[in-house]
Chains A and B, each alone.
Chain A
Amino acid sequence: MTTQDSQQGHLQGQLKGELKDQPQKYNSMLVTIVTESSLESQLSRELEGLGVQGYTITDARGRGDSGSRNAGWDADSNIRIEVICSEPMSETIAKLLEEKYYPNFAMVMHCHGVFVLRPEKFK
């Protein structure tokens, strides 16, 4: 075993040790989409069409490639959509957004594993 391997093994052990007291590793994915509010009704329909069980939409403000979007006025405001779903569903959502919306809309999507109670609610 090289020194590097031993360091990695130690690190993994440390992480496992830290996770031991955590409830579990993630059992669902949290998909977060930040995009233009003009897409709200269209994206809601798309997500429902894909079969997600639910989503949460909040108003968002910020600055990025598309300039400052300060949420004061419809055409210039952003929303944040959060979906808790299964891993395959998160991949389906990512594919849809990448193909259909990324080229023309201000949009950021990221996802990560989350631990939820009642995971059967989020397919």
Chain B
Amino acid sequence: MIEPIILFFVLGIIAGLVRAELRLPGPIYDFVSMLLLLAIGLKGGIELAKQPFLTLLPQILVVFVMGLILPLIGFPILRKFGRFKRADAASIAAHYGSVSVGTYAVAAAFMETQNIYFEEHMPLLLVVLEVPAILVGIVLAKGLSKETQWSSVAHEVFAGKGVVLLLGGLFIGWIAGSDGLDSIKPLFFDLFKGILALFLLEMGLIAASKISSLHKYGLFLIVFGIGMALLSAVIGTGLGLLLNLSIGGTAMLAILAASASYIAVPAAMRISVPEANPTLSLTASLGITFPFNVLIGIPVYYELAVRAHAIFGA
């Protein structure tokens, strides 16, 4: 059975491609994305309350290193085979080293529908993955330049809506615990899929606008957008095994690795590497990788995790 939320995404894409007069009003989109980020954070926070923070430290470190490595793999590919300018290659690579909360939300819904267990503290790793790729991207574009306004970049990264709401949600969930959140559960947890459906409708419209600008940038971006996602998923699966995550957790880490940012990184790159063309990176991350992951990637990465556990698992 096809997840109805995926059909909302498809509806958005079709509506966008036929230029239907459809648009989620700006404040509604803001509201919907805020609810999603908070809900994801709260769920992670409840789980964090159940275990000592120190046991998660190895996972946090490994995921941080993964965030550093992924853009370093993408950058030379973009430079050599894509022949992109240094700034453009660095910016696109940073998008692919970071994560997409939207993809995570769809994956969480997929896992819930299929009754697959995964470590619920994944939102913490989601936050950890937002940051390192941005730093690597800036250094790849400019070197360790004194001109870089690190304070502006830090503000953009840590005070950005995504990180504040995710970390805020984690913190509130951690303090309040599962019972404490009972009173707000109907809004954040019971309505999660409905909210996600609206969010995906808008994402479909945005993705369609990027797809329609694809013809300008050629075949390479399509191949890179899918190829990089698959390669990153394999790396994420390997690290999931290394960290002894469950099958669902391994799949989630693969999905986080395979996803490409479209909120935190574009904002940080506009400020720190303004000479990079944002249309290129957003076309790749939103026009190619996001739809690929949502429509095809998530079940494929789960299957990869199942097979990897069967072959290499303890």
Residues of A within 8 A of B (CB): 36, 38-39, 41-42, 59, 66-68, 70-77, 101, 103-105
What is the CA–CA distance of A68 and B135 in the complex, to the nearest angstrom?
Answer: 30
**B262 at the A interface (CB under 8 A):** yes
B244 close to chain A: CB less than 8 A: no
CB-defined A-B contacts under 8 Å, sample of 19: A36-B270, A38-B266, A38-B267, A38-B270, A39-B270, A42-B152, A67-B213, A72-B24, A72-B29, A72-B202, A73-B26, A73-B202, A74-B263, A74-B266, A74-B267, A76-B209, A77-B26, A103-B275, A104-B274
Contact A67 to B23, CB < 8 A, known contacts A38-B271, A39-B270, A75-B263: no
Minimum Cβ distance to chain A for residue B143 (Å):
18
Tell me if B80 is interfacial: C-beta within 8 Å of chain A. no
Point out the residues of chain B lying under 8 angstroms from A41, CB to CB. 155
- Residue B82 interfacial (CB < 8 Å): no
Q: Smallest Cβ distance from B308 to chain A, in angstroms?
A: 34
Closest 10 CB pairs of A and B: A104-B274, A38-B270, A75-B266, A71-B26, A104-B275, A38-B267, A72-B29, A72-B26, A72-B23, A73-B206
Q: Could you tell me which residues of chain B, from 259 to 314, have a CB within 8 Å of some CB in chain A?
A: 262-263, 266-267, 270-271, 274-275, 278-279, 282
Nearest CB in chain B: distance from A123 CB, A: 27
B206 and A76 within 8 A (CB): yes
Q: Residues 207-226 of chain B: 1 if any A CB is under 8 Å from the residue's CB, otherwise 0? A: 00100010000000000000
Asked whether, in the complex, the Cβ of B206 is within 8 Å of the Cβ of A72, the reply is: yes
A76 to B263, CA, bound (A): 10
B residues contacting A by CB (< 8 A) are: 23-26, 29, 152, 155, 161, 202, 205-206, 209, 213, 262-263, 266-267, 270-271, 274-275, 278-279, 282
Whether A68 lies near B209 (C-beta < 8 A) is yes
| B23 x A70 contact (CB < 8 A) | yes
Q: A72-B206, A73-B206, A104-B274 are in contact. List 9 more A-B contacts (CB 8 A).
A: A38-B266, A38-B270, A38-B271, A68-B209, A73-B202, A75-B270, A75-B278, A75-B282, A76-B282
Expressed in whole angstroms, the Cα–Cα distance for A19 and B29 within the complex equals: 47
Number of residue pairs spanning A and B whose beta carbons lie under 8 angstroms apart: 50
- Report whether B274 and A73 are in contact in the complex, using a CB–CB cutoff of 8 Å: no
A103 to B87, CA, bound (A): 14
Q: Which of A41, A76, A105 has the most chain B CB atoms closer than 10 A to its own CB? A: A76
B160 CB to nearest chain A CB (Å): 9
Return A36 CB to nearest CB of chain B, in Å: 7
Q: Which of A38, A42, A59, A103 contacts B26 (CB 8 A)?
A: A59
| Cα distance A70–B25 in the bound complex, in angstroms | 10
In the assembly, what is the distance between CA of A109 and CA of B78, in Å? 35
Cα separation A36 to B271 with both chains bound (whole Å): 11
Min CB gap B271→A, angstroms: 6
Neighbouring B residues of A42 by C-beta, 8 Å: 152, 271
A26–B202 CA distance with the chains assembled, in angstroms: 45
User: Are B29 and A73 in contact, CB atoms less than 8 angstroms apart?
Assistant: yes
Query: Which chain A residue shows the least CB distance to B161?
Result: A74
Residues of A within 8 A of B161 (CB): 74
- What's the nearest-Cβ distance from chain A to residue B254, in Å? 25
Chain B nearest CB, measured from A89 CB (Å): 24
Chain A neighbourhood of B267, CB < 8 A: 38, 74-75
